[in-house]
Every structure is written in C-alpha cells, then in structure tokens.
C-alpha cells in the first residue's frame, strides 16, 4: 500500500466512525458543516432547542444548490435538508443524553452532503 493510499484509507476510516451524516445523491456534493454545541447548556430545554435549530440550519446550508433557483431545485434542496436533519438527529439525541453526565463532551455534530 502506498503512503497516499494509507492516508486515504485512514481518512475514510476516520470519517466512517466520526458521526458524519450522508445524504441523498442530489445533495450538494462535498459540503460539510460542523455544528458546535460547546456554548449550549444541553441539560436545559432552551439549549436542546438551540442545538436542534443549529442542525436544521446546517442541513439547509449543506443542501443549498448554488445558482439553481428553479422550483425543482428548491424542492430537492428542501427534501435534502429534511433527510439531512433526520440523519443528524441520532447525534443530537446522543449529545442530549450525555448532557449533565461525566460522559458529556463539548463537541460538535457533523452534517455533510456527498
């Protein structure tokens, strides 16, 4: 295995275990957004709601089609964002479940389109 192949394999393995969210084929290819929640109190209802809104906003951002202002493009972007949000929710729920415990971390949720 060459050095570049090893690097690519390591990156692929890291992405596979990092909680990266995959989206439908019509998603904006290659876009990734990291949603930080270090500043939120996830043990509170307001903190949990803020995190969910951040994930929804990030999903809209990664599913935006640059230059496509057609109705079909808007509908595909909306559908992509809905799926992206749904696929990111397990990461959100895990972060909320860990809130206030020794397992809590001040991390981020990764939202990505491929």
- Tens digit of each residue's pLDDT (9 = 90 or more) over 8-44: 444 344 333 333 334 344 445 668 899 999 899 999 9
Identify whether the C-beta of residue 111 lies closer than 8 Å to the C-beta of residue 62: yes
Work out the number of other CB atoms within 10 angstroms of the CB of residue 46.
10
| Rounded Cα distance, 90 and 54, in Å | 14
User: Maximum distance among all alpha carbons in the chain?
Assistant: 50
Residue closest to 34 by CA, chosen among 47, 18, 16: 18
Give residue 102's pLDDT: 59
pLDDT value at residue 27: 44
Tokens encoding 63: 């599913």
Q: What is the pLDDT of residue 66?
A: 79
User: In which residue are the tokens 């969910």 written?
Assistant: 52
Q: What share of the chain is helix, strand, coil (3-state, %, to 5)?
A: 55, 10, 40
């Amino acid at each position: 295995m060459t050095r570049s192949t090893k690097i690519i394999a390591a990156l692929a393995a890291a992405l596979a275990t990092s909680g990266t969210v995959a989206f439908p084929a019509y998603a904006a290819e290659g876009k990734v957004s990291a949603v930080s929640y270090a500043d939120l109190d996830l043990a509170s209802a307001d903190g949990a709601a803020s995190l969910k809104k951040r994930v929804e906003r990030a999903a809209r951002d990664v599913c935006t089609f640059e230059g496509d202002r057609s109705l079909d493009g808007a509908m595909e972007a909306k559908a992509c964002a809905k799926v992206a949000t749904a696929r990111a929710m397990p990461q959100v729920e895990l972060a909320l479940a860990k809130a206030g415990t020794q397992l809590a971390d001040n991390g981020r949720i990764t939202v990505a389109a491929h």
